[in-house]
Amino acid sequence: MSTVFLYGLVALLFIISWFKDPQKSKKALKIGWKSFSKLIPTLIPVMVGIGIILSLLNPEAVSVILGEKSGVLGMLLGIFIGSVAFMPGFVAFPLGATLLSHGAGYPQIAGFVSSLMAVGIVSLSAEIKYFGKKSAILRNLTALVAVFIFVLIVWGVGL
């Protein structure tokens, strides 16, 4: 229901914008399309890769690896996979939801998604280049500690 509401709101606001200034509205559509078309080459391989992974991992496998009964080992595995994986947030969150629907546990997915967003082992060399070795390593270690605290909180809440 909320998705329909949001799309309807966007459509209504765009119609209002169009009546107020059609030229600006056309320009906004062109800018949006350019941004989207630049995103497609990145988005398609990620979605294909996720589709292949999910087709290979049946719900039982997800439950064993990242399920509620995988416990601390599953949480550590989720944190490790998230720390070394490299994907944008708009892919990570739907992937997390899909893994939950396939039997993964909340603490395990919390560790995966939060470490994916906060810890960047793959991008560490770029961080070192721009921010310096000490800053990059300190930021990643701090993020890793925050991820562990977050996962323990989610585990303690017992979702």
**pLDDT tens figures, 17-50:** 999 999 999 999 999 999 888 878 877 776 777 6
Beta-carbon contacts of 12 under 8 Å, excluding residues fewer than 6 positions away, are none
d(CA 14, CA 112) in angstroms, rounded, equals 37
The encoded tokens of residue 13 equal 């606001």
Residue whose tokens read 């300190």: 138
Tell me which of 58 and 4 has the higher pLDDT: 4
Per-residue pLDDT, 124: 85
Which pTM was predicted?
0.66
The mean pLDDT of 63-89, rounded to a whole number, is: 85
Checking if the pLDDT of 159 tops 70, the result is no
Token pair for residue 42?
Answer: 């990145």
What is the distance between the alpha carbons of residues 40 and 48, in angstroms, rounded to a whole number?
Answer: 12
More confident position, 157 or 48 = 157
Distance in angstroms (rounded) separating the CA atoms of residues 41 and 125: 24
Kindly list the distances between the CA atom of residue 134 and the CA atoms of 33, 39, 72, 123, 128, in Å, as whole numbers in the listed order.
Answer: 40, 32, 30, 15, 8
What is the predicted pLDDT for the residue at 54? 66
Residue 71: what pLDDT?
Answer: 86
Model confidence pLDDT, tens digit, residues 103-116: 889 999 999 999 99
Q: Cα 50 to the chain's mean position, in Å?
A: 12
Give the residue with greater pLDDT, 87 vs 144: 144
Is the model more confident about 77 or about 57? 77
Please name which of 76, 139, 138 lies closest in space to residue 110, comparing C-alpha atoms. Answer: 76
How far apart, in Å, are the Cα atoms of 157 and each of 9, 73, 93, 109, 151? 35, 18, 20, 14, 10
